[in-house]
């Protein structure tokens, strides 16, 4: 292996005439948490299903732990853990029995099973629930048990499809802690999410995926830095002309006109640029009514590269004027 636990080259997948995955290539390095961030229908589950051998590859190549997904699917399956959106627990078994059963299927020796179950109950804080039936667990506990089950065989790579969907923020943050702990154990993690914060907080690297294509890949910091140093929100007495003035300034990277305000991405330190920006606008007789400064967030990154937000109803029109150059991978 090359230090890459996952290698994907020119992957394509179509459901009839619907192209779900459109020429995707990426690598995941040993020991990192790598996220696919994208809206519903972007193609995330299809990619994860192909990598975990649940869907047959149609076009392209993929290797997981050095094994060819198309030709060595058994070896791939033996070397990975999977936690999917759909719960696959046995509800009539207790927490411990579910883990025990999974270990047996994978022919883990009894002593190893016992030790691993204790480790995982501790990690997922289910020690007090070891004798509780699956059907008597809360939704969050079920998900934690799923996670423990996925980790039972100490897989080299763990695949998680939307691991915290439907969680409240506290439960989500706990899950992130578990995943960081798993990473500390040396496991590589590939996850899909449509939560900006999850991708931002948890991942070493993120690929933004939309309409079956990877649009950009990088660490959260890299993606934000690429966008610009700071973001200024301005409300003026004439946003249209103010936008034109701003676009002519070298220090301004992009200007997006929202219904009420202008979103100005700048490439330099805001303290140097803001006085100049305000002066230029005022010179044209335009009043500035509100100024707000913030650092670019993952939401800003997502909107910048995809032209829309993650929530339904966020439209391209709203973000006219978006730059798309400089996009890598």
Ligand X SMILES: Nc1ncnc2c1ncn2[C@@H]1O[C@H](COP(=O)(O)OP(=O)(O)OP(=O)(O)O)[C@@H](O)[C@H]1O
| Shorter beta-carbon distance to ligand X: residue 41 or 139 | 41
231 near ligand X, rule: CB under 6 A: no
Residues 6+ apart with CB under 8 A from 53: 69, 73, 76, 77
The full DSSP string for 226-285 is: HH-SEEEEEEES-HHHHHHHHHT-TTEEEEEE-SS-EEEEESS-HHHHHHHHHHHHHHTT
In the window 174-203, what residues touch ligand X (CB under 6 A)? 194
Q: Is the dihedral of CA 283, 286, 291, 295 positive or negative?
A: negative
Q: CA 286 to CA 45: how far, in whole Å?
A: 49
| Shorter beta-carbon distance to ligand X: residue 85 or 238 | 85
Task: Write down the least CB distance from residue 192 to ligand X, Å.
Answer: 6
Question: In a 10 Å sphere around its CB, with 0-12 CB exposed, 13-18 middle and 19+ buried, how is residue 147 labelled?
Answer: buried
- Is 258 in contact with 318 (CB distance < 8 Å)? yes
Task: Write down the least CB distance from residue 43 to ligand X, Å.
Answer: 4
Q: CA 173 to CA 255: how far, in whole Å?
A: 34
Task: Write down the least CB distance from residue 152 to ligand X, Å.
Answer: 25
325 near ligand X, rule: CB under 6 A: no
163 near ligand X, rule: CB under 6 A: no
217 near ligand X, rule: CB under 6 A: no
* Cα 233 off chain centre by: 27
- Of residues 4, 35, 45, 98, which one binds ligand X by CB under 6 A? 45
| Shorter beta-carbon distance to ligand X: residue 207 or 261 | 207
221 near ligand X, rule: CB under 6 A: no
18 near ligand X, rule: CB under 6 A: yes
Stretch binding ligand X (CB under 6 A), from 37-45, 196-204, 296-304, 318-326: 37-45
Element (H, E) at 15: strand 4-15
| Shorter beta-carbon distance to ligand X: residue 216 or 274 | 216
42 near ligand X, rule: CB under 6 A: yes
40 near ligand X, rule: CB under 6 A: yes
- Of residues 7, 24, 35, 38, which one binds ligand X by CB under 6 A? 38
58 near ligand X, rule: CB under 6 A: no
Stretch binding ligand X (CB under 6 A), from 44-52, 100-108, 236-244, 280-288: 44-52
Task: Write down the least CB distance from residue 198 to ligand X, Å.
Answer: 13
17 near ligand X, rule: CB under 6 A: no
Q: CA 164 to CA 170: how far, in whole Å?
A: 11
20 near ligand X, rule: CB under 6 A: yes
What are 5's two structure tokens? 């636990």
Nearest CA to 145 out of 134, 131, 153 is that of: 134
User: 54 to each of 5, 46, 73, 77, 122, how far by Cα in Å?
Assistant: 18, 9, 9, 9, 30
Task: Write down the least CB distance from residue 196 to ligand X, Å.
Answer: 14
41 near ligand X, rule: CB under 6 A: yes
Site residues for ligand X per CB under 6 A: 15, 18, 20, 38, 40-46, 194
């Amino acid at each position: 292996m090359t230090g890459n636990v996952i290698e994907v080259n020119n992957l394509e997948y179509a459901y009839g005439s619907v192209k779900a995955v459109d020429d995707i290539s990426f690598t995941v390095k040993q020991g990192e948490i790598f996220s696919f961030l994208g809206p519903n229908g972007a193609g995330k589950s299809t990619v994860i299903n192909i990598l975990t051998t649940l869907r047959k590859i149609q076009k392209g190549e993929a290797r997981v732990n050095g094994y060819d997904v198309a030709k060595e699917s058994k070896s791939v399956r033996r070397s990975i853990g999977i936690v999917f959106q759909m719960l696959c627990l046995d509800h009539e078994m207790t927490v411990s029995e579910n883990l025990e059963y999974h270990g047996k299927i994978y022919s883990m020796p009894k002593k190893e099973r016992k030790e691993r179950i204790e480790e995982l109950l501790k990690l997922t804080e289910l020690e007090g629930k070891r004798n509780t039936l699956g059907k008597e667990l809360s939704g969050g506990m079920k998900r934690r048990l799923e996670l423990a089950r996925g980790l039972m065989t100490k897989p080299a790579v763990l695949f998680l499809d939307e691991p915290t969907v439907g969680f409240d923020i506290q439960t989500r943050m706990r899950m992130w802690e578990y995943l960081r702990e798993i990473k500390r154990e040396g496991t590589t993690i590939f996850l899909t999410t449509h939560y900006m914060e999850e991708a931002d907080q948890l991942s070493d690297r993120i690929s933004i995926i939309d309409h079956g294509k990877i649009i950009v890949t990088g660490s959260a910091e890299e993606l934000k830095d690429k966008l610009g140093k700071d973001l200024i929100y301005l409300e003026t007495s004439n946003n249209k002309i103010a936008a034109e003035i701003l676009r002519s300034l070298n220090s301004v990277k992009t200007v997006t006109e929202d219904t009420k305000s202008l979103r100005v991405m700048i490439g330099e330190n805001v303290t140097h640029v803001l006085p100049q920006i305000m002066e230029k606008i005022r010179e044209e007789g335009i009043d500035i009514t509100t100024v707000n400064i913030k650092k670019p967030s993952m939401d800003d990154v997502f909107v910048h590269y995809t032209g829309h937000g993650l929530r339904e109803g966020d439209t391209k029109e709203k973000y006219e004027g978006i730059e798309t150059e400089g996009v890598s991978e």
